[in-house]
Every structure is written in structure tokens, then in C-alpha cells.
């Protein structure tokens, strides 16, 4: 099995597990760099990397650029140039980094962050609930279903149970800290359910009933579309938080020789000088610094 095939399988595995990572693909490379277009790797939140996208210097620049994308969620086209890389074709909109330690040609890579899908906890087995479940996954939501809300890590809870356990489900979602809770009910019945719970002002603001954008929906499928349209709108406007991802950024240091930013890991070249830690992008910079501090 080729490295690309193994990595493709690994990417599918990470997505199914809900593990955040950045998928990196070499788009363009200039000899004598060791990477070739199509080479790929994944970068994790701690800066560790699997796959191949070039030597240690290129890897270092990719790690520094990739980790912040797990917070922004936005893809980036990254151009890594050696000091004399002016002849590499320009690309509008790309982020350019000059890496003086590259052994040869320039390289261009596409960095695509892969974050867990926002999770929708769906309560009920009504036709509307079934339609929501059918449409939600193609829209990028991970759906969990049950008679009570599975609130762990949920971005939103939608209750469509036609009077069954509605108060208990709303209370459970509120107590779990879910910010978006939708109750599928008429305006009159929804108000009666919420009034019976004696909610605080903050709690009441987190519950939507009726739920859905007004599109004149009549069928279960149309109502489901109106509800999902509201969820998508809230997600894209930033009012609906995605599933929580714990990102602990690794330490980043500056190589005292070449000035490059370096992700500090257990295998990062390191030198302790007069009680001060110094980190390097490659063993060559470390050796040069050792010679300088030991020079008479």
C-alpha cells in the first residue's frame, strides 16, 4: 500500500473519531526540494505530524502555520520560500513564509483544518424528527437521537416529541449548558411548556419555540428544512458554537540562528546555554549556535 493510500485511510479514521487535525497537501514544489505535488500529511493540535511534505525545515514552517488553523477553522495556501526564492511563481491570497534553512527549492501547500462536525442532539421519533435526521448529516451535522437529549458536546438540542418528556428534555439541555435548544410545538403549547418550568431570563433566551425560519412550511419535510435553516444561520453567524474542541497550543520558540519560529516538541533540536533553553529548526542551526557559544 502506498503512503498516499495509508494516509487517506488515516484521514478517514480521524474524521470518524472526531479528532481535529490539519490536512496538508503539497500543491507545487520546486527542485531540489524533496517533496512532490500530491505528497500529504496530517498535523495534530500538539504539532505532531504524520505523512510526508518535505524535510525537517519545511515541516517546521508547516507546523507553525497549521496549529492556529484548528482555532480559526479557515484553510490556508502556504508558500515556503528559501532566501533566494523570488523566482517561484506568485500566488494571490497565499501566506508566504521565508525559511532561510530550506536546502533547496520553494514549496506551496494547501492546509485544510478538519474539525469535528457540530453535533445535534435530536429528541423524539416523530415524522419531523425523522426528516431532520435525514437532512442534517448532508448539511454537516453529526446527529444523535434518543428519548432524552444526549447533551455531551452538543451544539444544539432539538425536541420533537409531541408532548412526550418535553419539560424533562428542556431542563436537561439547560442544565448541561447547551446554548441552543429548540422545541417543536405551536406557539401556544410551547409557551405553556416553558411557563411550567419557571425559567430564568437567561434560560428562557436559550430556548426557541416555535423553532424554524418562517417559509410557510406545512409538511414534516418542509418544517425540518425550516428548522435546519435556522440552525445553519446561527452556526454561520457565530451564535451557535460548534462542538467543543480542546486545543492546547504547543510552545513556539524562535531559533536564535535563523530567526525561524519553531514548535517545541520532544524531538525538537535543543541546547541549554547558561541555564537558558534554546530551540532550533534543525540540527544544523543547533550545531552552529553551539560553535558560537563555545568560540573563544
What Rg value do the Cα atoms of the chain yield, rounded? 25
Do the strands 261-263 and 252-254 form a parallel or antiparallel pair, or are they unpaired?
Answer: antiparallel
Distant-in-sequence, close-in-space partners of 214: CB < 8 Å, separation ≥ 6: 226
What is the model's pLDDT at position 172? 93
CATH superfamily of 119-236: NAD(P)-binding Rossmann-like Domain (3.40.50.720)
Q: How far is CA 238 from CA 61, 207, 242, in A?
A: 30, 17, 9
* 24 beta partners: 41, 111
The answer to whether residue 296 scores a pLDDT higher than 60 is no
Choice among 133-142, 150-159, 241-250 with the minimum mean pLDDT: 241-250
Q: How far is Cα 198 from Cα 203, in angstroms, rounded to an integer?
A: 9
The separation between CA 138 and the C-alpha centre of its own chain, rounded to angstroms, equals 18
What's the angle, vertex CA 146, arms to CA 144 and CA 149, rounded to 5? 75
**Summary mean pLDDT of the chain:** 88
The percent of residues above 70 in pLDDT, for the chain, comes to: 94
The answer to whether residues 52 and 95 touch, using CB atoms and an 8 Å cutoff, is no
Distant-in-sequence, close-in-space partners of 224: CB < 8 Å, separation ≥ 6: 128, 131, 132, 134, 135
What is the model's pLDDT at position 201? 92
Helices (H), 2-119: 3-17, 56-66, 69-72
| DSSP H/E element including 204 | helix 201-205
Q: Mean pLDDT across the stretch 259-288?
A: 90
Residues of the chain with CATH 3.40.50.720: 119-236
Amino acid at each position: 500500500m502506498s503512503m498516499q493510500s495509508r494516509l487517506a485511510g488515516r484521514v478517514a479514521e480521524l474524521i470518524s473519531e472526531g479528532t481535529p487535525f490539519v490536512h496538508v497537501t503539497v500543491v507545487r514544489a520546486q527542485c531540489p526540494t524533496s517533496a512532490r505535488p500530491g505528497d500529504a500529511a496530517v498535523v495534530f493540535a500538539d504539532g505532531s505530524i504524520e505523512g510526508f511534505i518535505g524535510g525537517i525545515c519545511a515541516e517546521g514552517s508547516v507546523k507553525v502555520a497549521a496549529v492556529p488553523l484548528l482555532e480559526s477553522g479557515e484553510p490556508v495556501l502556504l508558500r515556503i520560500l528559501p532566501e533566494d526564492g523570488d523566482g517561484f511563481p506568485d500566488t494571490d491570497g497565499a501566506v508566504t513564509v521565508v525559511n532561510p534553512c530550506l536546502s533547496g527549492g520553494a514549496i506551496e501547500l494547501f492546509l485544510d483544518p478538519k474539525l469535528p462536525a457540530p453535533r445535534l442532539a435530536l429528541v423524539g421519533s416523530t415524522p419531523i424528527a425523522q426528516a431532520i435526521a435525514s437532512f442534517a448529516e448532508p448539511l454537516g451535522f453529526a446527529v444523535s437521537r434518543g428519548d432524552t437529549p444526549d447533551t455531551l458536546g452538543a451544539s444544539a438540542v432539538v425536541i420533537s416529541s409531541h408532548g412526550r418528556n418535553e419539560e424533562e428534555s428542556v431542563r436537561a439541555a439547560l442544565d448541561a449548558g447547551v446554548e441552543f435548544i429548540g422545541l417543536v410545538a405551536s406557539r401556544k403549547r410551547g409557551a405553556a411548556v416553558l411557563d411550567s418550568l419557571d425559567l430564568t431570563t437567561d434560560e428562557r433566551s436559550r430556548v426557541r419555540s416555535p423553532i424554524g425560519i418562517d417559509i410557510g412550511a406545512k409538511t414534516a419535510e418542509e418544517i425540518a428544512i425550516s428548522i435546519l435553516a435556522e440552525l445553519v444561520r446561527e452556526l454561520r453567524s457565530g451564535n451557535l458554537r460548534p462542538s467543543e474542541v480542546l486545543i492546547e497550543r504547543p510552545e513556539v520558540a524562535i531559533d536564535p540562528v535563523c530567526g525561524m519560529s519553531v514548535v517545541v516538541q520532544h524531538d525538537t533540536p535543543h541546547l541549554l546555554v547558561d541555564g537558558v533553553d534554546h530551540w532550533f529548526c534543525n540540527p544544523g542551526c543547533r550545531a552552529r549556535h553551539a560553535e558560537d557559544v563555545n568560540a573563544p
